[in-house]
Amino acid sequence: MMPDFLTIAGAAKFFGAARVLDNVDLGVKRAEFVSLLGPSGCGKTTLLRIVAGLLTPDAGTVRLDNADITRRPPHHRDIGVVFQNYALFPHLTVAENVAFGLEARRAPRGETRAAVARFLGLVHMSEFADRSVRALSGGQQQRVAVARALAVRPKLLLLDEPFSALDRKLRETMQIELKRLLRELSTTAVFVTHDQDEALMMSDRIAVMNRGTIEQLADPATVYHRPATGFVLGFVGLSSRIAGEVVAAAGEEVVLATPRGKLRAAGTLASGTKAFVAVRPERIRLGAGGGDNELELPLRDIVFQGSKMQLHFDAGEGDQVIVEAAQLPGLPLAPGAPVKLSFAPADALAFALDAKP
Amino acid sequence: MKPRRERIDPVAWLALPAVAYLALVYALPLIMLLARGVMGPKGFTIEPLASFLSDPFNWQVIANTLKIAALVTVVCLLIGYPTAFALAWSSGWTQVVLLAAIILPLSVGVVVKAFAWQIVLRRDGILSQLMVSLGVWDEPVRLLFTETGLVLGAANVFLPFMILPIYSVVRLIDPRLAEAAATLGATPVYRFRRIVLPLTLPGVLAGVVFVFSLSIAMYVIPSLLIGDRYQTLATLVGRSFLFMRNEQLGSTTATVLLVLAVAVVVGSGVLARRLGRSA
């Protein structure tokens, strides 16, 4: 197995009495793209700043490329950062911004000029080289910030919500572009975001963070389909959920008694536990399914979403049932009419109820 | 950046009262005064200016004026630059106290301050006693009526005019710029030279222009701290009008003072802009 390129061990940080980061471990492999995903205040930016050397952790170590860099100042770390507001130097031109890191390292003039030309080309900003950065749009500033951080060929690139200031359409283009660029350059990257879609689409692995800890570290499909905790389930994607009580447990499967009938789900909970069953909306089928979990609920709303339809059902107090389907079957679906639904026990997950966010 | 030539913004009319006031009570008398310097009994003449410049004493006065103004500006810059950062980066009560300490002295009249400095700078004054008791000086020294004393006193009076413009630009610098520079491999010294210094240059320029123009024209402070034997252009203007009743000399001296002040202010502006571009 390939050893980790970046290793964070037992990182902790307090701001006054508030524990912002609680004993966090994280390993990132060479050329891997790992996202730190979580709500604001979960500690993801604090963790990023610790890796960059802009904050000193109260406990724990940071190792990069087989060296302990915990106490090393940022200018000796060889870690590039793309800041949320880009932090471009307002008194310098686009080319001077990109050249800054090389000049600070006293690279030969020719090498600097070549690197500036190459990286401005990679982010499609060559024609803006002599412009003032003040005259650029948000998307252009972001490209310059990426070029500036990459031009020194850092060992690791950190990105702090670099897309949050861009409008939706531009954001998607930039995400695809950046992902491709980082792969072409085999750049190791840690990416901070609160946007689950962004994390799912860009990452090799996602670390879902909550209250200063990592709740789950896994590839996007696992995070989405097999969330480790109720928090991860709630934070990443939509889900239908029905509360009840565990009445039988065998191996990896439990049976819950709910107001909607007995439901089987994956999970390891003891009998008697108050719990809920969660299913992703696209894993619920319209119509009866032989041997699977079945529900019959009145339809409340149909929401047209272009490529898919979203059906909301009247569930009990505190429960919600949402179904997503590419197209509606030929049956008449009128609001208020009861509809049969089914889903496989393997697609359902049981979580203890107090773990619900 | 050059301002674009456009039709006058209607908002500019809001400046009309100020423009009218200044034209009437400042620009007009100034033009009359300057005219007197170049108008003889037989019309336009440069004779008064030529005779002023041919007198070596007047050259000494010009040198005194520029030397004192330059020293006061440098002292204010050296003390004021770090102070502006302390003010901008402090918070809460520290900042309130610092700001009060800088702004409140402005409410004390310059005459009061100059007299206070007379007491501080005497041979038996506080400064002399302090230096002797610290062992820096072997015996009491009188700084009053010396160039050093004048520069100390004037720098004290004009310091806020250096600190406040620098403070106002430091406050606007995004702290992430320095962080970004650090992650790009820049040492603290390099960060200061390439990022912080160029970005504070407009504030430095404003402070230098304020302090230099104030100290090139100061009259009360040199009168009280260095006395009659040491003349600057401003005190010479005062003497010409008040004691020698020589309006021609006074006007000519005032013209020279004005030209010097404008030249230095404009020149430092051009210089700072050029430095800012090459940094």
First to last CA, chain B: 17
Contact A77 B198 (CB under 8 A): no
Sorting pLDDT into bands at 50, 70 and 90, what band is B190?
A: very high
Tell if the CB–CB gap between B183 and A79 is shorter than 8 Å.
Answer: yes
Of B186, B198, B279, nearest to A104 by CB-CB distance is B186
Q: Residue length, chain A?
A: 357
Contacts of A79 in chain B (CB under 8 A): 183
In sequence order, the β-bridge partners of residue A151 are none
DSSP string, A230-261: HHHHHHSS--EEEEEEEEEEETTEEEEEETTE
Residue B187 neighbours by CB distance under 10 Å: 14
Which residue among A52, A85, A104 sits closest to B185, beta carbon to beta carbon?
A104
**CB–CB contact A83 B187 (8 Å):** no
Q: Residue A153: which of A182, A128, A175 has the closest Cα?
A: A182
Angle, alpha carbons B70-B89-A75 (nearest 5°): 95
Q: Where does residue A122 fall: left (phi above 0), alpha (psi -120 to 50 degrees), or beta otherwise?
A: alpha
A104: nearest CA in chain B?
A: B186
For B49-82, the pLDDT digits (tens) are: 888 999 999 999 999 999 999 999 999 999 999 9
Kindly identify which residue of chain B lies nearest to residue A149, measuring between CA atoms. B184
Whether residue A280 contacts residue A237, with contact meaning beta carbons closer than 8 Å, is answered with yes
Residue identified by tokens 């001077």 is A96
- Going by their DSSP bridges, the two strands A253-258 and A59-64 should be labelled as unpaired
Helix (H, G, I), strand (E, B) or coil at B7: coil
* CATH of region B45-109+155-278, choose from 1.10.1060.10, 1.10.10.10, 3.40.50.10860, 1.10.3720.10: 1.10.3720.10
Taking the Cβ of residue B183 and every Cβ of chain A, the question of whether any pair is shorter than 8 Å is answered with yes
Token pair for residue A113?
A: 């000029």
pLDDT of residue B54: 92
> CB burial class (10 A; 0-12, 13-18, 19+) of residue B27?
exposed
Measured torsion, CA atoms of residues B71, B72, B78, B82, in degrees rounded to the nearest 10 = -170
A89 touches B at CB < 8 Å: yes
Residue range B93-143, pLDDT digits in tens: 999 999 999 999 889 999 999 999 999 999 998 999 999 999 889 988 898
CA distance B180 to chain A (A): 7
Contact status of B164 with chain A (Cβ, < 8 Å):
no
Q: CA–CA separation, B232 vs B228, rounded Å?
A: 10
- Three-state secondary structure call for residue A40: coil
Q: Assign A270 to helix, strand or coil.
A: coil
Assign B120 to helix, strand or coil. helix
User: What residues of A are in contact with residue B194 (Cβ under 8 Å)?
Assistant: 89, 100, 103-104
Q: Is residue B137 helix, strand or coil?
A: coil
Beta-bridge mates of residue B269: none
- Chain segment B133-146, per-residue pLDDT in tens: 998 899 888 989 99
pLDDT at A357: 43
Q: Which long-range contacts (CB under 8 A, 24 or more apart) does A110-118 make?
A: A115/A151, A115/A152, A116/A151, A118/A151
Which candidate, A24, A35, A76, places its Cα nearest to that of A52?
A76
Structure tokens of A241? 């959920």
Question: What's the mean per-residue pLDDT of chain B?
Answer: 90
Between residues B44 and A263, which one has the greater pLDDT? A263
> Is this model's pTM higher than 0.90 or not?
no
Asked if A75's CB is within 8 angstroms of B187's CB, the reply is yes
Q: Which residues pair with A297 in a beta bridge?
A: A339
* Per-residue model confidence (pLDDT) at position A150: 96
The one-letter amino acid code at B243 reads F
Per residue in B161-179, pLDDT (tens digit) is: 999 999 999 999 999 999 9
Question: Which domains are seen in chain A, by residue range?
Answer: 4-233 (3.40.50.300), 238-355 (2.40.50.100)
From chain A, the residues in CB contact with B181 under 8 A are: 89, 100, 104
pLDDT per residue of chain A (357 residues) written in tens, 0 to 9: 678 999 999 999 999 889 999 999 999 999 999 999 999 999 999 999 999 999 999 999 999 999 999 999 999 999 999 999 999 999 999 999 999 999 999 999 999 999 999 999 999 999 999 999 999 999 999 999 999 999 999 999 999 999 988 888 889 999 999 999 999 999 999 999 999 999 999 999 999 999 999 999 999 999 999 999 999 999 998 999 999 999 998 888 899 999 888 999 998 888 888 999 999 999 998 888 777 898 888 888 888 888 888 899 988 777 889 999 887 766 667 788 888 899 999 899 999 987 444
